[in-house]
Amino acid sequence: MYIKLDHLTKQFGDTAVLDGISAQIQEGEFFVLVGPSGSGKSTLLRIIAGLIPASSGSVFFDSQNVTDLPPKDRHLTMVFQNYALLPFMSVADNIRFGLHNLDLDATEEAKRVNDALDMVHLTELRDRKPKELSGGQQQRVALARAIATKASLVLMDEPLSNLDAQLRTEMRQELVQLHKELGMTLLYVTHDQVEAMTMGERIMVLNDHHIQQVGTPLDLYNHPANKFVATFIGSPKMNMFDATVDALEHFATLELTDANQHSVRLPLPYDLAAGAYQLGIRPEKITLSRSASAGSFPVRVMAVANLGRESSVSLVNNGHEFIASVPEQYPVPENQIVYATLPTDAADLHFFDEKSNLAVNNKGVPEKAGVLDGIA
């Protein structure tokens, strides 16, 4: 089953929560809705579920317009952040309860419950009450309840955010695996971009009531459509520099200074109109060395976060702070002067229009948000 969202909007009173949401989700896709809190992603999920009415626009499941269909008739199931388990029912009964409106016969019901329990490895705990389980186990019960319905669409609302960090990483793998085995369409809401990147086949980034971009994880990382996506995806965040483009001379002047107190200039990788831009560069594309070389400029080390196999180095030059990621341990003391080199590859330099914040491609025309995978 594929899903089509057609110009959905939602207002609560006078407050706009969602505006002009159009997208298409493919059958069997692991599709992630990601955005900061308040971006409307949970609201969008609930509109798709039918729990909240849209103010305008339509939702299609395959070719059927389901906009006015009550949730129970949409043949979907949902996994919630706080699990939504009934505290007074055993694990098995909770799962059976989820089959309420399917009108299954007793044998089929029992089989579904057993299979689902087996799938999430909770068969031994079937008679426990949710209270007697750990958070991770409770989440597995919620998953099993969803699995047992065999719904072809599963919605998940921040299902892992109440788990501790290590368990969360494990559960991500399990969810991806589960999706592979069962092949349902999976809509997954999270505020965590790492979760989105590691799990999603495609990702919709929401912010400020609007779709910012829809694409595969690498699309978003390599070709962010605007400044928001550029800084939201990736950790540590993409650095942003003020840049002034001189079209004739074909270079960009940054507000950074080299050893001679001259402004740092970068040759343009493609043609750009003259004017003011924001230049985004990922931390791992900035190289550091102890000695000066052609094209490098001096920076002062403010702090080093050693992560073991890599290090994030906070740097300052001419009052501008930025971060370089170094793929090694980096035992340099604070206030030490080192030399930074910026990349020159077209793929590593992301220019954003100063006014619209949209990415500009190598023809100098701002791209439209969502154009990569919007509604065709």
11 interacts with other proteins by CB under 8 A: no
The residues that bridge with 278 in the sheet, in sequence order, are 242, 352
User: CB of residue 316 vs other proteins: minimum separation in angstroms?
Assistant: 39
Q: What angle do CA 20, 26, 32 make, to 5 degrees?
A: 65
Residue 11, burial from CB neighbour count under 10 angstroms (0-12, 13-18, 19+)? middle
84 interacts with other proteins by CB under 8 A: yes
Closer of 155 and 229 to other proteins (Cβ): 155
Per CB under 8 A, the list member of 64, 65, 86, 110 interacting with other proteins is 86
CA distance 138 to 140: 5
Supply φ then ψ for residue 98, to 5 degrees.
-65, -15
Mark the segment that binds other proteins (CB under 8 A) among 83-91, 173-181, 195-203, 364-372: 83-91
Q: What angle do CA 215, 216, 220 make, to 5 degrees?
A: 65
249 interacts with other proteins by CB under 8 A: no
Q: 171-195 burial, b for 16+ CB within 10 Å, e for fewer? A: bbeebbebbeebebbbbbbbbbbeb
The residues that bridge with 300 in the sheet, in sequence order, are 316, 337
User: Is residue 201 classed as helix, strand or coil in its secondary structure?
Assistant: coil
Per CB under 8 A, the list member of 41, 46, 112, 140 interacting with other proteins is 46
Give the single-character DSSP code of 172.
H
52 interacts with other proteins by CB under 8 A: yes
User: CB of residue 98 vs other proteins: minimum separation in angstroms?
Assistant: 6
Number of residues interacting with other proteins: please give it, by CB under 8 A.
28
User: CB of residue 208 vs other proteins: minimum separation in angstroms?
Assistant: 24
70 interacts with other proteins by CB under 8 A: yes
The residues that bridge with 207 in the sheet, in sequence order, are 210
User: CB of residue 315 vs other proteins: minimum separation in angstroms?
Assistant: 41
Closer of 68 and 208 to other proteins (Cβ): 68
User: CB of residue 49 vs other proteins: minimum separation in angstroms?
Assistant: 7
- Residue 236, preceding peptide bond in cis (omega within 30° of 0): yes
Mark the segment that binds other proteins (CB under 8 A) among 42-50, 318-326, 354-362, 367-375: 42-50
135 interacts with other proteins by CB under 8 A: no
Torsion angle, alpha carbons of 168, 169, 172, 177, to 10? -130
Per CB under 8 A, the list member of 26, 64, 65, 101 interacting with other proteins is 101
Closer of 55 and 306 to other proteins (Cβ): 55
Q: Residue 361 corresponds to which amino acid?
A: N
Closer of 49 and 359 to other proteins (Cβ): 49
54 interacts with other proteins by CB under 8 A: yes
